[in-house]
Amino acid sequence: LATASDVTAAPHGEVHRLLDRSARVFVAGSRGLVGSAVCRHLARKGFTDVGGPGSAQLDLRERRAVFEWFAAERPHVVVLAAARVGGIRANATRPTEFLSDNLRIQINVLDAALRHGVERLLFLGSSCIYPKFADQPIREEALLTGALEPTNDAYAIAKIAGILQVQAVRRQHGLPWICAMPTNLYGPGDNFHPEHSHVLPSLIRRFHEARLAGAPRVVNWGTGTPRREFLHVDDLARACLHLLERYDADGPVNVGTGTDLTIRETAEIVARVVGYRGAVEWDASQPDGTPRKLLDPSRLAALGWTSRIGLREGVARTYAWYVENLATGTV
Ligand code: GFB
């Protein structure tokens, strides 16, 4: 693998080295939306030793447990997809946990990975690390140039600290660790909790339940005017492997589709997929959050990657997964 000194020689730090398919890959957060998609994709691509314990077996907030786990398992590659996540309401009402849990998870995993000289590590952040009023589409250079969106500043600060820690390790220890910043994600394995989830799973559940109940109207949160960009988690998983094999530089890399739409338009798509035909109303007393966060995906595009799953298709696939898992009681 490339060392930090190679990075200065190559703009955008192109690596173009295939990871060894027998490498031991630890996916932190392997049971979550992102981690499970990464595990599926790597297995499909021939990796033979991929995974990680669930939070019931290993609480990543517990430093000693994390160090003992690394000492016993000695992974070669780490994908840090473990985090406390949630939608706008969860972030706004539980900032203490979003800050503290995420900082502890990251510091423990990154410190243990450094102690064991992990050769390749990908840290996953979020588009909410960028300033609330960043120029659109948002380039990676916008990081730390302005004030954050208050509904998720605790989560954003934790993720920014993670980026800084990865960059510090690169500079001080020369390890080829990298960071990716995905836009709003959705897909199979998402959280469909009515209060805590992100907007897409919330809408899927609300419209589904309204259709079954024959409800004449649903009420969504906010004005419906904010714009969001949505990426299917299977696309993100492909991007993760692409970056692990092709990118080696300090800066984070945005992962998105390059297009966004209003929450109102998003709701129309979900209603159509779910087959809900009643009225859709908006409760403007609920927070809108940031007005727009469309990522500029050109850094990743320059490395030869683009998203493949369109929003309608992705929502249809996610809805099918939701209905199937409702039947088995897993959501
Ligand atoms: O996915 P979401 O909760 O978070 O989307 P953010 C919030 C937007 O959808 C706001 C509207 O404009 C809400 O007013 N919305 C409408 C709803 N109905 C609903 C609903 O039923 N549930 C939800 N959740 N929203 C997140 C951050 O921000 O972005 C996370 O909270 C993370 O930390 C993620 O960074 C990428 O897009 O505003």
Average pLDDT over residues 25-45: 98
Give the contacts of 143 (CB within 8 A, at least 6 positions apart): 129, 130, 160, 163, 252
pLDDT at 1 over 50: no
pTM: 0.95
Distance in Å, CA 116 to ligand 1 centroid: 37
| Cα–Cα distances in angstroms (integers) from residue 268 to residues 228, 291, 300, in the given order | 14, 19, 30
What is the residue with the minimal CA distance to atom 12 of ligand 1? 288
Distance in Å, CA 226 to ligand 1 centroid: 10
| Cα–Cα distances in angstroms (integers) from residue 4 to residues 163, 242, 298, in the given order | 16, 19, 23
155 tagged catalytic: yes
pLDDT band for position 17 (cuts 50, 70, 90): confident
Percentage of residues in the chain having pLDDT higher than 90: 93
Confidence at residue 330, expressed as pLDDT on a 0 to 100 scale: 82
Ligand 1 pocket, mutate which of 138, 221, 293 (most atoms under 8 A from CB): 221
Distance in Å, CA 202 to ligand 1 centroid: 9
Distance in Å, CA 263 to ligand 1 centroid: 9
Confidence at residue 290, expressed as pLDDT on a 0 to 100 scale: 96
Confidence at residue 216, expressed as pLDDT on a 0 to 100 scale: 97
pLDDT at 85 over 60: yes
201 lines ligand 1 (CB under 6 A): no
For the chain, give the mean pLDDT: 95
What is the residue with the minimal CA distance to atom 13 of ligand 1? 288
pLDDT at 3 over 90: no
pLDDT digits (tens, 9 = 90+) for 155-196: 999 999 999 999 999 999 999 999 999 999 999 999 999 999
Confidence at residue 329, expressed as pLDDT on a 0 to 100 scale: 82
Confidence at residue 10, expressed as pLDDT on a 0 to 100 scale: 43
Query: Which atom of ligand 1 approaches the CA of 182 most closely?
Result: 36
289 lines ligand 1 (CB under 6 A): yes
pLDDT digits (tens, 9 = 90+) for 105-125: 999 999 999 999 999 999 999
pLDDT at 288 over 50: yes
Average pLDDT over residues 58-83: 98
Confidence at residue 264, expressed as pLDDT on a 0 to 100 scale: 98
Distance in Å, CA 16 to ligand 1 centroid: 36
pLDDT digits (tens, 9 = 90+) for 224-271: 999 999 999 999 999 999 999 999 999 999 999 999 999 999 999 999
Average pLDDT over residues 288-294: 97
270 lines ligand 1 (CB under 6 A): no
Average pLDDT over residues 291-297: 97
